[in-house]
Amino acid sequence: MLTSTQLLKGAWVTVWMTVVSMALGLVLAVIVAAARSSRFIVLRGITGFYVWLMRGTPLLVQLVIIYTGLPQIGIKLGVIEAAILGLVLNEAAYLSEIVRSGLMAVPTGQTEAARALGMSPLKVFRVVVLPQALRVMIPSLGNSFNALLKTTTLLSVISVQELLRETQFAVQLNFRVLEGLVAAAIYYLALTTLWGLIQRALEKKFGRGYDRNYRRKATQGAGVGQAAELTEAVNR
């Protein structure tokens, strides 16, 4: 069963749908996080309601509503489109909180010092805020990707031919239920293990050269001395 072409095909569908959903979900999450941090109360209210709704209802229910409910109001989506939409909307609600907390973790004194040095808002975000926020976000984002790999099993309910669905088809043909499910579990274990190695490599890369003493000093407030330290850190 491990070398079954059906399971290999299902594993491939699981991987690419996870990657696409995570990428699109992260883009939407950044937009939602920015809106929730906006000074406009309407934007904060809309995005706050969206996060509350997505996080407060099961993904399975959301998928069924998108796939079978939306056609009743004239919105018809294919299986793949409905699956990706459901995963993206659900995942973005969780990722937006990760992004928002990561951005909030960067001391405001550093952004103030960077502006005092004459940096543009875009450069402040790219050079000062984003690198430090990524160090905070990567572990949580990595865990979310790991969980999403396994969450794709729910897509079998709306007939997406991912790994679990293909395993079910294979079992129906040869009636080797235990062997088929164990093979699927091994595939999931292999995928999550591989991602664990990638995640550790990313954490090591983005954590390289990070001066914890500098971070501690940076939280003490903005000033001339801090601006000098920030310049040295940026140029390092």
Domains, the chain, ordered by start: 5-235 (1.10.3720.10)
C-alpha–C-alpha distance, residues 98 and 117, integer Å? 29
C-alpha–C-alpha distance, residues 190 and 124, integer Å? 40
- pLDDT at residue 134, rounded to an integer: 84
Q: Which two tokens stand for residue 213?
A: 């003493």
C-alpha–C-alpha distance, residues 197 and 155, integer Å? 26
The answer to whether 124 and 115 are in contact (CB under 8 A) is yes
Q: pTM here?
A: 0.81
- pLDDT at residue 226, rounded to an integer: 46
What would the mean pLDDT of 145-167 be, rounded to a whole number?
Answer: 93
C-alpha–C-alpha distance, residues 195 and 203, integer Å? 12
Distances (CA, A) of 172 to 29, 58, 160: 40, 28, 17
What would the mean pLDDT of 78-88 be, rounded to a whole number?
Answer: 95
Exposure of 148 in the CB half-sphere (CA atoms within 13 A): 31
What's the mean per-residue pLDDT of the chain? 85
What would the mean pLDDT of 26-35 be, rounded to a whole number?
Answer: 92
* pLDDT tops 50 at residue 190: yes
